[in-house]
Amino acid sequence: MRGRWPGGVAARRYGDGWGSASYYRPHGEAGLAEPAEPEPEYEYFGLGHEGKTHMDRFDVSVGDSGQDRYVVTVRGELDLATADRLWTELEPLLEPKAVVVLDGTGITFLDSSGLRVLLQAGNRASAGGAAFRLVAPQPAVQRVLELAGTGSHLQTRETVPAALDG
Amino acid sequence: MQQENYPESYRLPRPSTVVLAIPADREQVVLVRSVAGHIAARLGMSVAELADLRLAVDEACGLFLLAPGFGTAGETVECRFEHDASSLTVLVSAAAPASLQPDVDDIGWLMLSALVDELTWKSEQGVARLTMVKHLSGQGG
């Protein structure tokens, strides 16, 4: 079976600026639902750092939820250029008994390199007695999980609170 | 609202070729994805097909850029987008030794083969070429 999506309304570009899949909106018949993924206006977003703002297309931040539970928030594009940056943040957290939740609701693009880091985190957690759970119900991520056939290899949850609970 | 008549600019454009060459640097792949996205929309692809095409060209570039040793000699990766009325062909190529071969068991290759209709790898005379074909579903016009 080919990994195709049935039908689908045509993509149309609105306005000008940075090209991005998230920049294309459906343009078609009434009654069809809008895609349920975040649609930033630009591929890049501003990140404040040491009093300056620079533009980046990827960001990862770690939040401590107490009791060895962490929420790692990833925004933007997780791909062959940025995947290593995620692993750098993720790896130290995957200690025994830790619960690491990856809030990937802001991921706008994911490829096999990014997926490899997610799978690696899952494996490291399983092997070491930690828990790693992914929250990313949007098509940009779900499509990749489907194409790669990850099935039960990754623990996924619908929301961050659910992921923290177990 | 009911489907309007699309303006002339949304009809399938005449057959054409767009070529983009990037340095062998992972950070440059965003440029290829961007070009692919605009071309996909121009050809009347759906939002889903557009996303798939961006992913496919990304994975294709990855086959080169993630190969051990690739990029150390200042290679460029060329991405050629050619379309006609029935299909879009994307050719990704670079100077590479014959030893550079895609790992067909790797998730990158598996995803790529599910994303496009035809996929071939050819290595000859020091150049490796990946050809991907996406059939157009007849939208536009």
Contact A144 B111 (CB under 8 A): yes
Check residue A45 and give its pLDDT.
75
pLDDT digits (tens, 9 = 90+) for B102-129: 999 999 999 999 999 999 999 999 999 9
Q: Which two tokens stand for residue A83?
A: 């995947």
Does residue A46 fall inside a structural domain?
Answer: no
Does residue A49 fall inside a structural domain?
Answer: no
The rounded mean pLDDT for chain A is 81
Q: Is B133 exposed, middle or buried (0-12, 13-18, 19+ CB in 10 A)?
A: middle
Q: Which of A12, A19, A80 lies closest to B26 in CB terms?
A: A80
Which strands make up the sheet holding B118-124, listed edge to edge? B16-23, B76-83, B87-95, B127-135, B118-124
Whole-number percent of chain B with pLDDT over 70: 89
Does residue A150 fall inside a structural domain?
Answer: yes
Stretch among A10-24, A104-118, A121-135, B22-36 having the lowest mean pLDDT? A10-24
Which residues on A lie below 8 Å from B48 (Cβ)?
Answer: 5, 8, 139, 143
pLDDT at A142 over 80: yes
Just give the CATH number of B17-135.
3.30.565.10
Does residue A24 fall inside a structural domain?
Answer: no
| Distance between A121 CA and the closest CA of chain B, angstroms | 16
Does residue A106 fall inside a structural domain?
Answer: yes
pLDDT digits (tens, 9 = 90+) for A27-61: 554 434 444 444 444 567 777 666 667 788 999 99
The boundaries of the domain holding residue A100 are 54-165
Residue of B nearest to A56 (CA): B27
pLDDT digits (tens, 9 = 90+) for B14-57: 888 999 999 999 999 999 999 999 999 999 999 999 999 999 99
Contact B55 A3 (CB under 8 A): no
Check residue A41 and give its pLDDT.
44
Q: Taking an 8 Å Cβ-Cβ cutoff, which residues of chain A contact chain B?
A: 2-3, 5, 7-13, 18-21, 23-26, 28-30, 35, 43, 57, 77, 79-81, 109, 111-113, 115-116, 139-140, 143-144, 147-149
Q: Are B79 and B35 in contact (CB under 8 A)?
A: yes
Q: Which of B35, B49, B66 lies closest to A8 in CB terms?
A: B49
- Residue with tokens 């990766």, as numbered in its chain: B77
Segment B63-85 shows an average pLDDT of 94
Give how many domains chain A has, as a whole number. 1
| Distance between A115 CA and the closest CA of chain B, angstroms | 9
Q: Identify the CATH number of the domain in which residue A68 sits.
A: 3.30.750.24
Torsion angles phi and psi, residue B138, rounded to 5 = 85, 15
Supply angle C-alpha B132, B46, A152, rounded to 5. Answer: 75
The residues spanned by each domain of chain B are 17-135
pLDDT at B138 over 90: no
Check residue A98 and give its pLDDT.
98
